Amino acid sequence: MPSNEPDETGPESAGASQAPRGRIFDIQRFSIHDGPGIRTTVFLKGCPLHCLWCHNPEGISPSPAISFLSEKCMACGECVRTCPNGAHQFQAGDNGAASTHAYDRERCEACGRCAVTCDTRALEFVGRRMTVEEIMKEVRPDRTFYLSSGGGLTISGGEPLAQPDFTRELLAAARDEGIHRCVETSGFASWGRFRALLALVDLFLFDFKETDPQRHAEFTGQSNEIILGNLRALYDAGANIQLQCPIVPGYNDREDHFAGIAALARSMPDLLGVRLLPYHPLGKSKLERFGLRPAVYLPDEPLDREGPAAWISWLREKGVRVLNAESSSKAASSPPGWLTGA
């Protein structure tokens, strides 16, 4: 298999022969940013891309992990007593200073026992396995809100198509109960996996992160060739698609990339629209909980939630249907410095 081919292995491929069980890292109810209306978003673990600015770095690895937030630790010592591998220790501070909690991830097998005993939730197990029915029990109660708001279920990640059988089963269950379905995808998977979902998805929230293939590989670990091929194939198959474009200062906030977004959108007249997703440093802070550091410099400040207003206006002038709020384009009369490279 060439190195830039999608990795077709995943948590569910490890021998599940009956009802598929998914590896989940979060379920968010009352979400209003993951598709139309009020939604429940299910985040699946495992992604074949490694975006430098990843918003959900806990979703990249398909394996479970322990999140550790030292600020919440009250030094009760339960995890030290619980861990069979001695991964947790308290190290005495110098000159009477408080002892510090050392967590050796090299020794951790992510069995999850310490997280169960941690009352303050300083330790949390991330990546539980769930059946479709277990998830539907969390999705179903908000059906009234979905119907009144035009919302529903969104499957996100990670990359939903990295767990294709489970994603398909979950979509089918939601369809059978009349619940609207979105899939939020990086676009990096085999076309066969997309094709298998076509009849089950009401709306694809399809990421487009970078126009230049080499920069795309530099930023995400893969070229955009397969992604663009899948986007075109989905479009030709008549799928409802909304393009989602993360905007990250210092990386893809360049005119040639926005020109690429405009060209792509104009080449697909039935595209539902483009939404710019302004950078937020949340992913950066999450990394620390998993003992990781950003591989590159990333800004500490978020961009405005409604998106870079000048670029929204710029895209609209090029005839692109931008879905970000109208008010954000009225707010700016000239591009801010980061848009012009100043």
| Cβ partners under 8 Å of residue 94, min gap 6 | none
> What's the min distance (Å) between Cβ of 49 and ligand SF4?
26
Candidate residues 83, 126, 179, 243; the one interacting with ligand SF4 per rule CB under 6 A: 83
Q: How far apart are CA 188 and CA 229, in angstroms?
A: 10
| Cβ partners under 8 Å of residue 113, min gap 6 | 82, 83, 84
Asked, as a colleague might, if the bond just before 15 is cis with ω within 30 of 0, I would say no
For residues 48-73, one letter each, b for 16 or more C-beta atoms within 10 angstroms of the residue's C-beta and e for the rest, the string is bbebbbbebbbbbbbebbbbbeeeeb
Given the rule CB under 6 A, which of 26-34, 54-62, 106-114, 171-179 is the region that contacts ligand SF4? Answer: 106-114
Query: Is-contact 88 101, C-beta < 8 A?
Result: yes
Give the residue with the Cβ less far from ligand SF4, 63 or 267: 63
> What's the min distance (Å) between Cβ of 25 and ligand SF4?
15
Please name the residue that has the structure tokens 């954000």.
328
Give the residue with the Cβ less far from ligand SF4, 127 or 335: 127
Residue 113 binds ligand SF4, judged by CB under 6 A: yes
Given the rule CB under 6 A, which of 71-79, 162-170, 172-180, 271-279 is the region that contacts ligand SF4? Answer: 71-79
Query: Is-contact 220 248, C-beta < 8 A?
Result: no
Candidate residues 19, 32, 74, 282; the one interacting with ligand SF4 per rule CB under 6 A: 74
Size of the site for ligand SF4 (CB under 6 A): 26
Candidate residues 28, 89, 117, 190; the one interacting with ligand SF4 per rule CB under 6 A: 117
Tokens of 169: 């089963």
> What's the min distance (Å) between Cβ of 128 and ligand SF4?
13
Candidate residues 16, 27, 52, 111; the one interacting with ligand SF4 per rule CB under 6 A: 111
Q: How far apart are CA 325 and CA 275, in angstroms?
A: 9
Residue 108 binds ligand SF4, judged by CB under 6 A: yes
Tokens of 242: 């909304």
Residue 66 binds ligand SF4, judged by CB under 6 A: yes
Q: Give the residues lining the site for ligand SF4 (CB under 6 A).
A: 66, 73-79, 82-83, 85, 87-88, 101, 108-114, 117-118, 120, 122-123
